[in-house]
Chain A
Amino acid sequence: MKKFGPAALAAIALLLPACSSNSSSTTTTKAGPKTIGVSIQDLEAQFYQQMEAGMKSEAAKFGYKVTFVDASRDSARQQSQVEDFISRKVDAIILTPYDSQAIGSAIVEANNANIPVFTADIANASKQGTVVSHVASNNVQGGQQAGMLMCAAVHNAGSVAIIDEPEVTSVQDRVRGFRMALQQHCPNVKVVADVDSGGTRTKANADTGDVLQRYKDLKGIFGINDDSALGAVAAIQAAGLKGIAVVGYDASPEARAAIKNGSMVGDAIQHPDVIGAKTIDVIHDYFSGKTVPARIDVPVGTYTKANAQ
């Protein structure tokens, strides 16, 4: 017990001012740095880890205290995390909703407590609640980037397949952009198959095999994320085929390696760190009393062999 004495005292000492400020605070500005609570749908994902890093470094510039919690792909958990933020009276909340519909009630609670809510990457799709600003990749534009990569890779003709995950809104945007780009830039390229592989590598691998079986003349495959694309690559290799262009999305380290060694032609690349940083920036503007736009698009780029060198 003795050992823990000083530590416990220190902890209490740290807690005390927080408690007193809590009990006395009103909606007016309080002393000390601004606090921001961030609930991220899945901190296991590399994408969100990069977003977290982007937020951290940007928040450090402004001296904000940011608390990150992981909703672990669980809506109920995310809801209670928001409630925790409310009772701790944070100055702003950032959400990447796990379920873009279910998040509404949590946002309403924050609204009622007069705490501004910002969303990053995934928007509030419910009709409830007010979000100050939504910061996300422009996935339609990202899909277009992927589509243009595909056009070039298949020399503007032939059939291609999409390894899809249509229940996700951002993926819907990607696929829309992809199809738009094909139509505009290479109308002779036809999408012959669009299969739902749930965004997982094992399912993408199995489904791609089936697609290859059915469409012997397939020229290209668009994987809506890198797991889908890499699953497709493994299936192509297992079938002993060559010359099928695979385009992915996100440019994870594995995908970069695949692009470098030629088994993939390229990726649309989001910039989660930029999304993170821009979200903090818009909060800073909001705190400074500026009017902020309801939607901030972060452009999506491409990653090809040229970038890999």
Chain B
Amino acid sequence: MKAETRTYWLRAGGAVAFLIVLALVINFASHGTFLQPGNVVRVLRQITYNFIMGVGETFVIITAGIDLSIGSLISLTGVVMALFANATGLHGFALIAATLIVGLAVGGAAGFVNAVPVVKLNLPPFITTLAMMQIALGLSYILSGGQPVPLQSTDFQNTGYGSFLHTIVPIPVIWMIVVLIVSSVLLMRTRFGRYVFAIGGNEEAARLAGISVGRVKTAVYVISGMCAGMVGFLYMSLFSSGSPQTATGNEMLNAIAAVVVGGTSLMGGRGAIVGTFFGALLIGFLDNAMNLLQINSYLQWVVLGGVILLAVVLDELRKRYLKRA
């Protein structure tokens, strides 16, 4: 095995080992509730949303950008999809598919708007996506009149909280697995993915190598918006309504935390979807465990913040250790 590949597996292995030990400790402390299959599946279902948002954010962050608008976009796409679903005369699969496409289109369009000033005027994405965060939130309140838009159709219940195989595999988890595979292949095995890394590593070298930097950057923000649209769809299905209040401001921060805990560098050029999955899993595990252990909610914030810090610090120390050794 090549040195780089070996380091990669060493890292992934380390992450898995850490999670396993943590899981065993929590399981012991919670008198065995934690590792019951039902609970594990539930944690997986619960992290789906954070993970899918993290996927879009991973693409953006690898290009050394940031997307702050994804939380608001969940609200906006949810409201638009609910309005669409109520207005159209479609039923069944056609309704679900058309609604999802609308959500992805709205999210993608918002991502495109995010990207234009970044690409054309070289403005910092922090600002443009911050503006989009406000715009999308405002639009979602305007379109919904400030109130949740209940779905009239019940066709979405299965996509929201249905399961395969007698409640063993929740449908959101299937979505998550599909997103995990598709996005990993896109990032690791295609030209586009390679260009994403190259732009984050050295934008000027990438440009001089003939890469259309503007197009690739635009694409990552569109992907990020579409991921938000997909999460908007899943939440809308789960709650049978599209609500402007779905976004509370924490979703985007949690997604970024999952990305960073997963080892993607905020400086760009380095990262992996699998890392984001582990990041989301760690955060989800902790949330769940602290609830099972009935830890005070304010203390939960402290612990979560501490874990994020610890993860990043450990990753940095490990890097330094590997460099020295």
Contact = CB atoms under 8 A, between A and B. Distances in A.
Is A bound to B?
A: yes
Contact of B292 (A206, A210, A230, A239): A210
Contact of B291 (A202, A207, A239, A254): A207
Contacts of A193: 294
A201 B243 contact: yes
Contacts of A156: none
Contacts of A231: 239
A217 to B, nearest CB: 13
A159 to B, nearest CB: 14
Interface stretch (A41-49, A93-101, A103-111, A181-189): A41-49
A124 interface: no
A45 B141 CA distance: 10
A199 to B, nearest CB: 9
Contacts of B292: 210, 213-214
A198 interface: yes
Contacts of B241: 230, 254
A45 B146 contact: yes
A253 interface: yes
Interface string A20-54: 00000000000000000000000111100100000
Contact of B46 (A195, A200, A206): A206
Contacts of B251: 202
B147 A252 contact: yes
Contacts of A252: 147-148
A208 B153 CA distance: 25
A238 B248 contact: no
Contacts of A203: 248
Interface residues of A, number: 33
A202 B246 contact: yes
B146 A49 contact: yes
Given A206-B46, A213-B42, A227 B147 contact: no
B141 A44 contact: yes
Contacts of A205: 238-239
Interface string B243-281: 111101001000000000000000000000000000000
A250 B241 CA distance: 17
A207 B244 CA distance: 21
B30 to A, nearest CB: 8
B14 interface: no
B148 A209 contact: no
Given A211-B291, A238-B238, A200 B163 contact: no
A240 interface: yes
A231 B287 CA distance: 16
Given A44-B244, A201-B243, A240 B163 contact: yes
A202 B235 contact: yes
A254 B238 CA distance: 13
A254 B42 contact: no
Contacts of B146: 43-46, 49
B190 interface: no
Interface string B283-312: 000011001101001100000000000000
Contacts of A44: 141, 146, 244-245
B161 A237 contact: yes
Contacts of B287: 206, 210
Contacts of B298: 196
Contact of A239 (B33, B36, B42): B42
A62 B30 CA distance: 62
Contacts of B244: 44
Contacts of A254: 148, 150, 240-241
B142 to A, nearest CB: 10
Contacts of B148: 252-254
A43 B30 CA distance: 42
Kindly name the residue among B147, B170, B287, B297 whose own CB sees the greatest number of chain A CB atoms within 10 A.
B297
A257 interface: yes
B245 A227 contact: yes
Nearest to A200: B248
Given A206-B46, A210-B291, A230-B239, 14 more contacts: A44-B146, A196-B298, A198-B248, A209-B46, A210-B287, A213-B42, A213-B292, A214-B30, A237-B161, A238-B45, A239-B42, A240-B163, A253-B148, A254-B150
28 contacts: A46-B146, A195-B297, A196-B297, A200-B245, A201-B239, A202-B246, A205-B238, A210-B288, A210-B292, A211-B291, A213-B33, A213-B36, A213-B288, A213-B292, A214-B30, A214-B291, A227-B245, A230-B241, A234-B160, A234-B238, A234-B239, A234-B240, A237-B161, A240-B163, A252-B148, A253-B147, A254-B148, A254-B241
